[in-house]
Each structure stands twice: as structure tokens, then as C-alpha cells.
Amino acid sequence: MSARRRRPAPPDPFDPGAVEVRRVQPYQANKAYTCPWCHRELPRGLGHVVVVPYGAADLRRHWHHGCWQKRVRVG
């Protein structure tokens, strides 16, 4: 008898295993964003990463390269 009560958890926007990470090249950065890790600006023209939770593209966030690396390491 197996209880199938587990529901899929909503994607955690900060879980490196549940997100797709896309690189944004400097020429693709047409807008300024705020990094969710350091809360500083990602100015236009700066290459960075976009972190997109699987199945929740509207929760994507723009991170500095270095901040995302730190985040992944901290877990």
C-alpha cells in the first residue's frame, strides 16, 4: 500500500538544482537589473547570468556571475 500524497514542490528560485542558468553576453544586456544576492545594480552592457526556475520562467532573476558562484557554493 503506497501513499501517493507527495505533491511536487514548487520550484525554488534559489535551488541550483531546480533552475536553468543562462549566460547573458554583454551585448545582450540591454537593461539594468538588480542582483538578488548583493542588491546592487547590473548595469546595461554587463555580462551576467539569468537564473530561470524550471517551469516558472516568470521567476527568473539576473545575477552577477560572481554572486551566482557564491550562491551555488553556499548552497
Whole-angstrom distance, CA of residue 44 vs CA of residue 29: 5
38-43: long-range contacts (C-beta < 8 A, 24 or more apart)?
38/64, 38/67, 40/64
**Judged by CB, which is closer to Zn ion: 4, or 39?**
39
Whole-angstrom distance, CA of residue 64 vs CA of residue 30: 15
**Judged by CB, which is closer to Zn ion: 14, or 37?**
37
**Judged by CB, which is closer to Zn ion: 37, or 59?**
37
Q: Give, as ranges, the residues between 10 and 69 that touch Zn ion (CB under 5 A).
A: 35, 37-38, 64, 67
Size of interface with Zn ion, in residues (CB under 5 A): 5
* Binding residues vs Zn ion (CB under 5 A): 35, 37-38, 64, 67
